C-alpha cells in the first residue's frame, strides 16, 4: 500500500518556488509606496490649504502671544467668511521674503481709522471699545491722520502697541485681504500653555 505524500499547504510552480512569491513582494512594495504617497499628499494639502505651523518671533503681541510660541494657523476659515475685528492674523511682510507678521485686526474695509494723541482708537469718528493693548499707545504714526480703508484693506495693530511695527508704520501699512494667510488658531508650544487662541 502506497503512502500519500504529505502536502505542505503551499502551491509551488514547476521550478519549486512558491507561486505567489514575487507577486506578493511586488504587491507589498506597491502598497508601501502608495501609503507613502498618500501621507505626503495629505501633508501637502494640510500645509497649503488647511493649517500651517508658525513660530512667534518678538514681543509685539504680548501678552496674548509670546516670543517663541508655536502656533497652528487656520488657513481655511477665510475661504468661507471675511476676517472680523480683533482676529489675530498672519500676513507676509512686503519688503522681506519669507518674513511674516502676526497682528490683530482693528479696522475693517470701508472704515476710517484714526488714533489721537491720547492713544485712543477711533473708527468712523467713534472711540473703539477694546482692551487688547498692553499699554497706552504713545505713537499714532500715520494713523494720527484719518486712514480710509479700501474694499479689501484692514488696519492692524500689535497688542504690545509701543513695541509693534504695524499699520501705523508706512513700511507695513494696511493689510490686503488677499494677502492674509490665515488666523492664529491653536498654540501648541509651550506645552504648559497649549490651547485655542481667543480672538474676541
pLDDT, tens digit, 9 for 90 and up, residues 145-167: 999 999 999 999 999 999 999 99
Q: What domain range is 91 assigned to? A: 49-196
Query: Does any domain span residue 18?
Result: no
**Positions in the chain whose pLDDT score sits under 50:** 1, 3-10, 13, 15, 18
| Residue 103 designated active-site | yes
Model confidence, pTM: 0.76
Pairing of β 182-189 and β 51-55: unpaired
Out of 4, 8, 60, 75, which one is annotated catalytic? 60
Query: Does any domain span residue 75?
Result: yes
Q: What is the pLDDT of residue 70?
A: 92
Dihedral (Cα; 24, 29, 33, 39), 10-degree rounding: 70
Q: What is the pLDDT of residue 149?
A: 98
| Residue 60 designated active-site | yes
Write a three-state SS string for 45-83: HHHHHHEEEEECCCCCCCCCCCCCCEEEEECCHHHCCCC
Query: Does any domain span residue 43?
Result: no
Domain count along the chain: 1
Out of 75, 103, 164, 167, which one is annotated catalytic? 103
85-123: b or e for each residue (b if 16 or more CB lie within 10 Å)? Answer: bebbbbbeeeeeeeeebbbbbbbbbebebbbeeeeebbb
Query: Does any domain span residue 107?
Result: yes
**CATH code assigned at 145:** 2.10.109.10
Q: Are the C-beta atoms of 138 and 162 separated by less than 8 Å? A: yes
Query: Does any domain span residue 1?
Result: no
Query: Does any domain span residue 184?
Result: yes
Query: Does any domain span residue 25?
Result: no
Tally of CB atoms within 10 A around 196: 10
Query: Does any domain span residue 12?
Result: no
Amino acid at each position: 500500500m502506497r503512502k500519500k505524500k504529505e502536502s505542505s499547504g503551499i502551491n509551488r510552480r514547476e521550478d519549486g518556488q512558491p507561486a505567489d512569491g514575487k507577486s506578493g513582494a511586488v504587491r507589498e512594495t506597491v502598497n508601501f509606496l502608495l501609503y507613502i504617497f498618500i501621507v505626503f499628499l495629505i501633508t501637502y494639502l494640510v500645509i497649503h490649504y488647511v493649517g500651517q505651523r508658525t513660530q512667534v518671533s518678538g514681543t509685539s503681541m504680548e501678552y496674548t502671544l509670546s516670543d517663541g510660541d508655536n502656533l497652528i494657523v487656520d488657513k481655511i476659515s477665510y475661504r468661507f467668511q471675511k476676517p472680523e475685528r480683533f482676529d489675530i492674523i498672519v500676513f507676509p511682510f512686503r519688503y522681506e521674503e519669507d518674513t511674516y507678521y502676526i497682528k490683530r485686526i482693528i479696522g475693517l474695509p470701508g472704515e476710517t481709522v484714526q488714533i489721537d494723541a491720547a492713544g485712543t482708537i477711533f473708527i468712523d469718528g467713534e472711540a473703539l471699545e477694546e482692551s487688547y493693548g498692553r499699554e497706552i499707545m504713545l505713537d499714532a504714526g500715520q494713523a494720527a491722520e484719518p486712514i480710509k480703508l479700501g474694499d479689501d484693506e484692514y488696519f492692524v495693530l500689535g497688542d504690545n502697541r509701543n513695541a509693534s511695527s504695524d499699520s501705523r508704520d508706512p513700511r507695513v501699512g494696511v493689510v490686503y485681504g488677499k494677502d492674509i494667510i490665515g488666523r492664529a488658531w491653536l498654540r501648541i508650544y509651550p506645552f504648559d500653555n497649549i490651547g485655542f487662541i481667543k480672538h474676541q
